[in-house]
Structure 1
Amino acid sequence: MSRKSRAAYTRILPASLPPLDQIPLDIVIFILQHCSPFDLAQLSLATKSFRRILTGHPSLWKHAQLQTSRGTCPLLPECPPESFTHEAYAAFIFGGGHCSHCSKLTNHLPFLSLFRFRSCSQQCKSALMSEERMFTDWGDINQTAFWSPWLPHFHSQVLGKTYRVYDRQAIALAWRELQDATAFTAGLARPFPNEFPARSTDELGLIHAKREQALASLTLNAQLVTEWAEHYLVEKRRMRETNLAFIKLVANCDNVSVRQVLECSGFQRIFAAFNRDLEKLTFTVWMEHRYAVLTEINGIRFGRQKALVDQVECPHCQQSFGVEALSVHTVAKHSDVDPDLLPIRPPFMMGKKHCRDCPKSDRVYTGQGLRAHQRAKHP
């Protein structure tokens, strides 16, 4: 590439961002103040520089919380610091995860955040709330159990009486944790070394005390998140319809369909992210990604066309051939036919032509190559 061409090529390239430490800190802070909680959680995983900034400016999380209020949706309840870091809280609420019943990946919100339950379907949700998974302490006979003061639970009313309801798997996990600590304290082989860190029963007792102190704020937060999620999902559906209408508008301008735009994997993620953050898609966003979307749509179109025309009928003898073989067949068997006029040609022949003075040759040339060939072979 010549120096002039390289300079012209460089001018049309988008300018790359300078390293983070070369951007003034106040500008970085200003940008981060307009991020959603999940944006900050993702950035904290990107580089140590972002983690240092987020640690040194905890007010950024407050600004991020303000971004969660749109329309009828109130602010996301504040993170309970005894139970979550800000990063973990944002990822837990917005980042999706495995279904608590079948382990299938899902982007649904947790439906029972007190137990950290997330379901991929109504069927899995019903299974998680069934008696097989839920343990109701009828008669309060387990109030003296070692796990009772600190294990998360909710209350259920039956015939006017209130009972505590626990997760059976959480109870089983608490017992295994105690058995592992007891064995470690006694100097015996630990039964669950891959499940828990090595700790004595005294150390475990201190952890139980911390869990008991955090239980009240965790329970309150779970209740608030459940109430918030109802409003959030309503606003998210509304924002999705708004963004679909916008995509339809811009897609019509480029003679493509909404379905084709949303088939593009990159734009699927953009669409999902804007809906998640209750943000409207804008023309600026569309123009930034338009070229990539249209390029991918053309690739998908070609892939479908190739699948449909894998076998093509020769228009002159009705035999069927692959797309590439049809051109070779035409040159070999129909020398009076111009192979460049075939309705379907393989992609490597696009923009190229056969030499009509070489009727038995299936070689193709670019315009410049054909002129050079004719000067050399057919003066």
Structure 2
Amino acid sequence: MCYLASSPFPVRDAFAVSFGVFERFPRDIGLKVRRFEQLVGKMEENRKIAQVLDHCSPYDLAQLSVVSKSLRLLIQTHSHLWIAAQRNCAGVPPPPVVTSSGNYSYSAYALFVFGGGSCTVNILHAAPYAYSRRTVVFEVDRHPALLRECRKSIETVACLFVDKNRKYDDNKWGKWVPRLKATLQNGEQAYVYSARDLKYAKREQQDAFRVDRGNSERDPAGFRRRSWKQLEKEHLRREESRPAVHQNGIELEVWRKRYGEQMNVVRSRNIKFVKLMSAVDDVNYRGLLRCPTLDRIFHAFKRDLTFLTHTVWMHNRSAILTEFKYMNNGVFPQGMVAHEHDKIRCSYCPRLITVKGMADHIVDKHKDQNPDVIPFIPKAKGDKKHCPDCPDSKRIFTKRGLEDHSQVKHSIIS
């Protein structure tokens, strides 16, 4: 059986039956035979690729579509792949149909919904879930990967602009910038905007004015170069598209709750599986879950609502157990950040030291080394650092504090 490039349905492979006929052809058409063989080989290759793609999740397809042009074209011409990819994540709202410029393809949409990433409110934190979280408040359109502890930050003046004076009700920006209607404490209603969106709208307008003046200076935000007339037309398209984007955000929030419940079921089942495998190998299952290889597998399967299997475990068992062995020996795999009470091996001596005490150990025993650049150890809160001119001091300073300390203690008074 094979898949034709123009059809998602299996058809009988006639080439395997009739290919022997070509062996009796004269030598002068050998070139045509070779070309035909290449064509058959290409179709066989595409058939195998199609079989693999047919078992991919939406996030997998999105990742594969950026690998090469040929893969991207193959995925784009077989739209049924996106339908098949959502069989485990049923009910995902389709991407909004908009007229404004921007990437609203299935691939970009899958990355947006399932790709995770850094919190858009607090960039110091990473998203705890694979999918993009959104709040029912204003941020349903705007803030993917939102952390629970950052929800309060959204309500601050720095993040939201409550238009109590109705400044933007009929303003050209208010017609297309995403907004929600909120009820104030006095019972009145007002629109709520993202302060960042309003700021960017102003900067985009200024960038368009620079284009009209022939100024080549570019805004750091990297807006598309448009004249003011072109930007006005884009504003109209955004105004037409805003209801669809807003509705998509509401639908995603409803879907997210169901998806989260299903994901918790898969997570519990997969943890039980890891516990079983850890008992077989007589290792701690919590330690296994921290191994980078198993961590990637675990989160990918949770994201795709898929149960771990013995085949998957055996395929990756050797790499996981090797990482576990090194971790127990105080050597953490590359890219992994240790916990506060983990013991890691000092890079400059064979001693095992807790993460919490490693900086002090460097100050005490290795004064020629920088205690602020230790591998596998997270940076101090507030990006605090030791004074490089006080090798015996364990005190850490903020950037401003270090400047003041250097001015007072280490400046040369003439």
Q: TM-score, normalised by structure 1?
A: 0.69
Is 1:231 the counterpart of 2:265 in the alignment? no
The corresponding residue for 1:335 is: none
1:98 equivalent among 99, 102, 118: 118
How far has the Cα of 1:174 moved from its partner? Answer: 0.5
Instruction: State the AA in 2 paired with 1:259.
Output: R
The corresponding residue for 1:245 is: 272
Which deviates the most, 30-39 or 154-163? Answer: 154-163
Instruction: State the AA in 2 paired with 1:132.
Output: A
The corresponding residue for 1:119 is: 146
How far has the Cα of 1:301 moved from its partner? Answer: 3.3
DSSP-derived class of the 1:66 partner? coil
2:93 equivalent among 68, 77, 85: 77
Is 1:301 the counterpart of 2:328 in the alignment? yes
Distance in 1, matches of 2:121 and 2:55, equals 36
How far has the Cα of 1:273 moved from its partner? Answer: 0.5
The corresponding residue for 2:89 is: 68
How far has the Cα of 1:24 moved from its partner? Answer: 3.6
Q: Are the structure 2 counterparts of residues 191 and 95 from structure 1 closer, same or farther at C-alpha, using a change threshold of 3 Å? A: closer
Structure 1: stretches of 5+ with no match in the other structure: 1-19, 70-74, 312-379
Instruction: State the AA in 1 paired with 2:231.
Output: L
Q: Is the 8 A contact 1:38 1:94 kept in 2?
A: yes
Q: Is the 8 A contact 1:35 1:67 kept in 2?
A: no
Distance in 1, matches of 2:305 and 2:221, equals 40
In the TM superposition, what whole-angstrom CA distance separates every residue of 1:154-175 from its partner, at most 9, and x where no partner exists?
A: 2223365543211011011111
1:144 equivalent among 166, 170, 186: 170
Q: Are the structure 2 counterparts of residues 206 and 263 from structure 1 closer, same or farther at C-alpha, using a change threshold of 3 Å? A: same
The corresponding residue for 2:61 is: 40
Instruction: State the AA in 2 paired with 1:242.
Output: R
The corresponding residue for 2:157 is: 131
Q: Are the structure 2 counterparts of residues 243 and 194 from structure 1 closer, same or farther at C-alpha, using a change threshold of 3 Å? A: closer
Distance in 2, matches of 1:287 and 1:22, equals 32
Q: Are the structure 2 counterparts of residues 207 and 260 from structure 1 closer, same or farther at C-alpha, using a change threshold of 3 Å? A: same
Instruction: State the AA in 2 paired with 1:137.
Output: D
In the TM superposition, what whole-angstrom CA distance separates every residue of 1:285-339 from its partner, at most 9, and x where no partner exists?
A: 111111222222233334479959958xxxxxxxxxxxxxxxxxxxxxxxxxxxx
The corresponding residue for 1:199 is: 226
DSSP-derived class of the 1:289 partner? helix
Structure 2: stretches of 5+ with no match in the other structure: 1-40, 332-342, 352-414
Q: Are the structure 2 counterparts of residues 227 and 160 from structure 1 closer, same or farther at C-alpha, using a change threshold of 3 Å? A: farther
DSSP-derived class of the 1:102 partner? coil
Q: Are the structure 2 counterparts of residues 306 and 53 from structure 1 closer, same or farther at C-alpha, using a change threshold of 3 Å? A: closer
How far has the Cα of 1:117 moved from its partner? Answer: 4.2
Residue identity over aligned pairs, in percent, reads: 30
DSSP-derived class of the 2:312 partner? helix
Q: Is the 8 A contact 1:135 1:167 kept in 2?
A: yes
CA RMSD in angstroms comes to 2.6
Distance in 2, matches of 1:302 and 1:193, equals 46
Q: Are the structure 2 counterparts of residues 233 and 194 from structure 1 closer, same or farther at C-alpha, using a change threshold of 3 Å? A: closer
The corresponding residue for 1:72 is: none
How far has the Cα of 1:129 moved from its partner? Answer: 2.6
Task: State how many pairs are aligned.
Answer: 286
Distance in 1, matches of 2:75 and 2:84, equals 12
Q: 1:203-352 residue pairs with structure 2 within 5 A?
A: 203-303=230-330, 307=345, 310=350
Instruction: State the AA in 1 paired with 2:133.
Output: P
Instruction: State the AA in 1 paired with 2:179.
Output: H
Q: Is the 8 A contact 1:96 1:105 kept in 2?
A: no
Q: Are the structure 2 counterparts of residues 237 and 187 from structure 1 closer, same or farther at C-alpha, using a change threshold of 3 Å? A: same
How far has the Cα of 1:57 moved from its partner? Answer: 1.3
DSSP-derived class of the 2:315 partner? helix
How far has the Cα of 1:67 moved from its partner? Answer: 2.6
* Structure having the higher Rg: 1
Q: Is the 8 A contact 1:106 1:119 kept in 2?
A: no
Instruction: State the AA in 2 paired with 1:39.
Output: D
